[in-house]
Amino acid sequence: MTAALVVPAPAPVTVPVAGRADRFPVHRIYCVGRNYAAHAREMGKDPDKEPPFFFLKPADAVVTDGRDVHYPPGTANYHHEVELVVAIGRAGHDIAPEAALAHVWGYAVGLDMTRRDLQLAARDLGRPWDFGKGFDESAPIGPIHPVSDIGHLAIGAITLEVNGAMRQMADLAEMIWNVPDTIAYLSRYYRLVPGDLIFTGTPAGVAAVIPGDAMRAMVTGLPALEVKVLPPLS
Ligand code: MN
């Protein structure tokens, strides 16, 4: 006898694959905190003293296929964070740094949208970051580009413009924990599986956006991700 679902099943969450009709299914979204020294400093922290740390967003926080984001509830300080996103294609745990890139299926440009006021209040009280980081529509992401097409991304510009004005500009090579080290560290604590996404942290220059603003996020080697901020959902 087949069991019936007592409420409708949630829709699978998928991200488009560049240049193909195929889609990448999302399992989890891991995010690295403070992975660029200048951003750690602008958050009031010393970048040299801390090992990497992570937080998660729900899979269904992704926003894809050219959709825009609504200004979220509960905040008066809604921030952009441009990030390189790693898409995991091979399972593994306790992965050695030298073996880590073999677990990468592809790369994308992402935005770790943040309710900064809620995140900082939680941080300063020693509380979880979920309300500041893991809300609806908090993970816009562009199409995933397969490693088989573009190779690996380790150097090159990462930028974010708002309404045509540069807000964030750095180089991927400035990451404190590079992609192999990040995968190796994370996989000591979680079993990574195909479908996991890793947001690899943002450079300095994070700032607020408001309804009407247009964000343009770029990583060298990938097409721009353009996302507008819409008025709040009523
Ligand atoms: Mn971030």
- Whole-number Å distance, alpha carbon 133 to ligand 1 midpoint, is 8
Q: In this structure, what token pair is assigned to residue 200?
A: 């690899």
- Whole-number Å distance, alpha carbon 171 to ligand 1 midpoint, is 15
- Whole-number Å distance, alpha carbon 108 to ligand 1 midpoint, is 14
- Whole-number Å distance, alpha carbon 165 to ligand 1 midpoint, is 20
Indicate if the alpha-carbon torsion angle 122, 166, 202, 137 is positive or negative.
positive
Give the domain range for residue 116.
Answer: 22-230
**1 inside domain:** no
pLDDT, tens digit only, all 234 positions of the chain: 789 999 999 999 999 999 999 999 999 999 999 899 888 888 888 877 678 899 999 999 999 999 999 999 999 999 999 999 999 999 999 999 999 999 999 999 999 999 999 999 999 999 999 999 999 999 999 999 999 999 999 999 999 999 999 999 999 999 999 999 999 999 999 999 999 999 999 999 999 999 999 999 999 999 999 999 999 998
**15 inside domain:** no
User: 101: part of which helix (H) or strand (E)?
Assistant: none
Q: What was the pLDDT predicted at 49? A: 67
Q: What was the pLDDT predicted at 125? A: 97
Assign residue 101 the CATH number of its domain: 3.90.850.10
- List CB contacts of 26: < 8 A, sequence separation 6 or more: 13, 14, 15, 59, 62, 195, 197
**Nearest residue to 194 via CA among 66, 56, 23:** 23
- Whole-number Å distance, alpha carbon 61 to ligand 1 midpoint, is 14
- Whole-number Å distance, alpha carbon 11 to ligand 1 midpoint, is 26
**8 inside domain:** no
**3 inside domain:** no
- Whole-number Å distance, alpha carbon 17 to ligand 1 midpoint, is 23
Tell me the C-alpha distance between 197 and 119, whole Å: 21
SS3 119: helix
The pTM assigned to this predicted structure is 0.96
**7 inside domain:** no
Q: In this structure, what token pair is assigned to residue 146?
A: 């397969």
Tell me the C-alpha distance between 192 and 95, whole Å: 9
**9 inside domain:** no
**62 inside domain:** yes
Count up the domains in the chain and report the number: 1
DSSP structure string for 28-49 = -EEEEES-BHHHHHHTT--TTS
DSSP 133: H
The protein residues having their C-beta less than 5 angstroms from ligand 1 (an ion) are 81, 112, 202
**14 inside domain:** no
